[in-house]
Amino acid sequence: MSALPPYATTGQRIWYYAFRVICGLIFFFLIAPIAVVIPLSFNAQDFFTFTPEMLRLDPEGYSLKHYRDFFSSPDWQQALWNSLTIAPFATVLSVGFGTLAAIGLSQPHVPFRRAIMAILISPMIVPLIISAAGMYFFYSRLGLQGTTLGVVLAHAALGIPFVIITVTATLVGFDRSLTRAAANMGANPVTTFFKVQMPLILPGVISGALFAFITSFDEVVVVLFVGSAGQKTLPWQMFLGLREQISPTILAVATILVVLSIMLLTTVELLRRRSERLRGLSPG
Amino acid sequence: MSDTTHTGPVLAADGTPLKRSLARALRRQKLRALALISPLLAFILVAFIFPVGDMLYRSVQNGIVEDTLPRTVVALADWDADGGDLPSEAVYAAMAADLKDAAAAKTHTRVGSRLNYETPGLSSLFRKTGRKAKTFDIEGGAPWREALIDINDGWADAEVWRTIQTYSPRITPGYFLNAIDMQVGTDGAEMRPEDERIYMKLLKRTLWMSMLITFSCIALGYPVAWLLANLPMRTANVLMILVLLPFWTSLLVRTSAWKILLQQQGVINDILVWVGLVADDNRLVIINNQFGTVVAMTHILLPFMILPMYSVMQTIPPTYLRAAKSLGATNWTAFWRVYFPQTVPGIGAGSILVFILAIGYYITPALVGGTTGTFISNRIAFHISTSLNWGLAAALGAILLAVVLVLYWAYDKIVGIDNVKLG
């Protein structure tokens, strides 16, 4: 929407500004619920709303109490630790398998490409409750239910579609003559892969990894069924906290997670731009 | 004439015909591609596809009756349920023998609760009889008809025997019928009584609310996508962060934010009271109902609508609108006849994506939905972890999965799975 032309009628002017106000309200709707959590987490009281002290910007109304609760509670610390151990392993599995498969899928001749793609993307499409229930029954039979390994495998399966999507998208712009040139100069396929192809598709692989990480880090339905008390992750603990007695510590956890997602978002955006620059797709 | 000319097939450097050599190269290429894909494919099959398939099989699996009561099933096969008579003494004797074995193996309660899904009361009948069954003297206890009826007069009810007979086969449509509010009656499948029909209502509610959420997402997403596609690149990139941040923020964080905002003592009610729109003693109930679920889920799924719309709108040249206007179209006509039809693929892609995601939601409805705003997923979870009626959970899951797969297929046709974009 370019600037308003000088000959615009009053009606057009009104619509132009009204439209911007509407869009502003929608952006507000998108951001406000996330933004409001941050100041509320510094509340000195155990309330979920702004106290009069907070509105007066009185320092008395603010405190780090909920953060202290988070860092001193063994339940929350155990949950944080579980999340931080499960997510990286799941990510490594999804990225390892996923990158190989994405390279395979982007070859010029792949038999049953559509069917294979449909199967590999399906963990993203099948409702989580169905995946969770299926894994619960099947993994119990294998003795994996209630083990960290079971949760890692389940989360790896859920993260794979994201790796496949981001890495194949990067490979679309990959110039095949580069690998041929490397082979021509005597490099074997493994050297070609690590020295030529990998550095170029690395941004896509890293964003895929971040997606897989956040999928596992955020996931609660599958871990509720496949895990047991020993695998209680951060989202699980939050889910319990929200369903039973809702404790203000959740606000502090939410704020920490928002900061984490801002960091991830920034990284992914930087990588995307770098990848587009490398492939010469856009000047930006 | 040179003697190197020959009329046979073109040969490759090693002397094999070129055609065969090319075919071999192609085959090798295909095999290499498959070799790269196969580890992942095997992993997904074992870790994901088999578990889901295994669960779906549970929706028709019914081996428990035959496994626990093998003699009764055989003896009962010839009994005419519509004749009005109780089964013969042989059936009762078979039941007594089966119950004795089952009680020793402690499996009688399981078959009781399985049959209880179909006819309430059978669970306690099996439990009570099973308690005495351990001491049954199969040879000397006859006549068993009187003996069993003596222990519990439930055994004198032809309905009980009809249920056992109906659910003897190893494969049953019972769970699926139950999932669509039907049951096996005297003459085939029939609807359940009016007050027991809950699943169709729940399925309809799930579909209806997912549609409502999809439409709210279209209504809110369209203007934003349009603005982003028509602003200068730099500004659009900054505003895009406002769309992507919610996308990257934890689902639990967003759900808890809404839970906190929408509470009766929460921020929204506080503001409404402060502005004077709502009396302090009459605060709005906007959580634990359908409204809360729709608002929170619209917020959570909105980025999935904006992103595909934006990527379609970006490709529409702004000159089209100008051309339409210079040909005399009003703003509205130019938008509706020229611009809007070109954005339909984006709307379609976004809608299917949002609808697929919405229909299977579990966490958000469980936390902000109360009793009226829950989805079919919540019922499935209830049957898996609380009522332990896994067959019914599997049947409900199969129905939900069927709906999702049809939509997935449509999405693949319209957009192509390869064209899914993230961020």
Judged by CB atoms closer than 8 Å, whether chains meet at B423 and A36 is answered as no
| Same-domain pairing of B226 and B373 | yes
User: Is B152 in the same domain as B253?
Assistant: no
Q: What does pTM read for this prediction?
A: 0.86
Contacts of B19 (CB under 8 A, 6+ apart): B9, B10
Which segment of A61-70, A166-175, B391-400 scores lowest on mean pLDDT?
A166-175
Is the pLDDT reported for residue A139 higher than 70? yes
Question: Across residues B309-322, what is the average pLDDT?
Answer: 89
pLDDT at site B124 = 86
Q: Is residue A66 domain-resident?
A: no
Residue B349 covered by a domain: yes
The beta-carbon contacts of B152-156 under 8 Å, at least 24 apart in sequence, are: B152/B125, B152/B128, B154/B121, B154/B122, B154/B125, B155/B92, B155/B95, B155/B125, B155/B129, B156/B86
Q: Scan residues 356-415 of B and list those with Cβ closer than 8 Å to A.
A: 356, 359-363, 366-367, 377, 380-381, 384-385, 390, 393-394, 397, 400-401, 404-405, 408, 412
**Cβ–Cβ gap B39/A12 under 8 Å:** no
Interface check for B36 against chain A (CB to CB < 8 A): the answer is yes
B217: left (phi over 0), alpha (psi -120 to 50) or beta: alpha
Number of domains in chain A: 1
Tell me if B404 is assigned to some domain: yes
State whether B157 and B110 are in the same domain.
Answer: yes
Give residue B216's pLDDT: 96
The verdict on B263 and B407 lying in the same domain is yes
Q: What is the reported pLDDT for B1?
A: 46
Q: How far does the CA of residue A7 sit from the closest CA of chain B (Å)?
A: 14
Cis status, amide bond into A88, omega within 30 of 0: no
Residue of A125, A201, A245, A282 for testing the chain B interface, max B β-carbons within 10 Å: A125
Cβ-count burial B109-123 (b if 16+ within 10 Å, e if not): bbbbbbbbbbbeebb
Instruction: Provide the mean pLDDT of chain A.
Output: 87
Residue B232 counted as domain residue: yes
Question: Which CATH number belongs to the domain containing residue A158 in this structure?
Answer: 1.10.3720.10
Residue B64's closest CA among B98, B104, B87, B100? B98
Region A174-195 average pLDDT: 88
Print the domain residue range for A237: 78-278
- In this structure, chain B runs to a length of 423
Query: Are B213 and B352 members of one domain?
Result: yes
Task: Please determine, for residue B114, whether its predicted confidence score (pLDDT) is greater than 70.
Answer: yes
Prediction ipTM score? 0.86
The pLDDT of residue B4 is above 60: no
How many interchain CB pairs under 8 A, A with B? 282
Do B76 and B221 belong together in one domain? Answer: no
pLDDT-derived band at A138 (thresholds 50, 70, 90) equals very high
Q: Is residue B184 in a domain? A: no
pLDDT digits (tens, 9 = 90+) for B55-109: 999 888 888 888 888 888 888 888 887 777 788 888 888 888 888 888 888 888 8
Q: Do B383 and B321 lie in a common domain?
A: yes
Tally of structural domains, chain B: 3
Domain extent for B21: 15-48
pLDDT tens digits, B24-50: 989 988 898 899 999 999 999 999 999
Q: Tell me: pLDDT of B390 over 60.
A: yes
B251 and B370 inside one domain: yes
Write out pLDDT tens, residues A140-171: 999 999 999 999 999 999 999 989 988 888 88
Structure confidence at residue A225 (pLDDT): 92
Whether A31 sits inside 8 A of B242 (CB atoms) is yes
Average pLDDT of the residues of chain B: 86
Top residue of A20, A25, A49 to mutate, by most chain B CBs within 10 Å, is: A49
**Predicted local distance difference test score (pLDDT) of residue A2:** 56
User: Are the C-beta atoms of residues B50 and A153 closer than 8 Å to each other?
Assistant: no
- The answer to whether residues B296 and B378 belong to one domain is yes
pLDDT tier, A280 (very low <50, low <70, confident <90, very high otherwise): low
What pLDDT, on a 0 to 100 scale, did the predictor assign at position A283? 40
Q: Do A250 and B248 touch (CB under 8 A)?
A: no
Query: Is the CB of A126 less than 8 angstroms away from the CB of B401?
Result: yes
Does the residue A31 lie in any domain? Answer: no
Is the confidence at residue B8, as pLDDT, over 60? yes
Q: Distance (Å, rounded) from C-alpha B365 to C-alpha B243? A: 23
Closest CA to A23 of B239, B300, B353: B239
